């Protein structure tokens, strides 16, 4: 009994497929006759005509056999062009450059920069994130207060100002002629380049 039900169901489905195929063939032939009557002697497809055949190519099996007045490859090209136009319109530039941030955020960046002149761009970005404002580095650089001259002291000026409080420490080894190793520890003050501590030992310790 089950085998007979399966045979009958497949037969009915086959009839329905044939009927649908016949209906689509009649529809496509009528459409092509309409195009020929409208644009004699050479068929001219309008945008709705192209959309009709692109839809048929996606939904109707064997649609290539129903098309008489054009090449199926032409329908494929129509679909590709529609796809390109869609994404070109989707990704087209809505205006020159990035959209501007609000005037409130611009004023906030300038205020933070004036109140904290030593803050760099990364610091300002971090402080803005703390209050829920996300901006890019280019945005902060654009609205920061422009200052003349160098943005920070030179290395020479830094040394002149801080040399009194700076010291260099070095720890190195020296091999001797008798193949022993001596450990040398040196502390140098930058102000006068004066050695304030010097020690040599064969057995260094942590103290």
Strands of the sheet containing 194-201, edge to edge, are 167-175, 181-189, 194-201
Residue 200 makes CB contacts below 8 A (sequence gap 6+) with: 182, 183, 184, 185
At 162 the pLDDT is 80
Model confidence at 20, in pLDDT bands (50, 70, 90)?
low
Q: What is the tens place of the pLDDT at every residue in 150-172?
A: 656 677 777 777 877 888 899 99
Q: What is the tens place of the pLDDT at every residue in 76-135?
A: 888 888 888 877 777 665 555 566 788 888 889 989 988 888 888 899 999 999 888 888
Q: What is the tens place of the pLDDT at every residue in 34-48?
A: 888 887 778 888 888
Q: What average pLDDT does range 136-147 have in this prediction?
A: 85
List the domain boundaries for the chain.
2-90, 103-143, 156-201
User: Is there a contact between 15 and 29 (Cβ–Cβ < 8 Å)?
Assistant: no
Write b or e for each residue in 127-160: b if 16 or more Cβ atoms lie within 10 A of its Cβ, otherwise e: ebeeeeeebeeebbeebbeeeeeeeeeeeeeeee
188 forms beta bridges with: 168, 195
User: Is there a contact between 135 and 125 (Cβ–Cβ < 8 Å)?
Assistant: yes
């Amino acid at each position: 009994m089950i085998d007979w039900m399966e045979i009958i169901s497949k037969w009915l489905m086959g009839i329905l497929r044939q009927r649908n195929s016949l209906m689509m063939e009649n529809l496509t032939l009528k459409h092509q006759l309409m195009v020929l009557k409208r644009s004699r002697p050479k068929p001219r497809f309008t945008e709705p005509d192209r959309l009709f055949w692109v839809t048929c190519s996606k939904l109707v099996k064997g649609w290539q056999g129903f098309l008489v007045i054009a090449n199926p490859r032409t329908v494929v090209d129509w679909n590709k062009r529609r796809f390109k136009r869609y994404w070109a319109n989707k990704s087209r530039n809505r205006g020159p450059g990035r959209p501007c941030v609000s005037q409130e955020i611009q004023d906030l960046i300038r205020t933070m920069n004036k109140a904290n002149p030593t803050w760099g761009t990364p610091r300002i970005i971090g402080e803005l994130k703390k209050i829920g404002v996300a901006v890019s580095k280019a945005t902060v650089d654009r609205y920061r207060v422009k200052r003349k001259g160098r943005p920070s002291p030179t290395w020479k000026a830094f040394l002149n100002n801080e040399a009194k409080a700076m010291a260099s420490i070095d720890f190195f080894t020296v091999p001797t002629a008798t193949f022993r190793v001596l450990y040398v520890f040196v502390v140098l003050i930058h102000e006068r380049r004066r050695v304030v501590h010097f020690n040599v030992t064969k057995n260094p310790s942590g103290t």
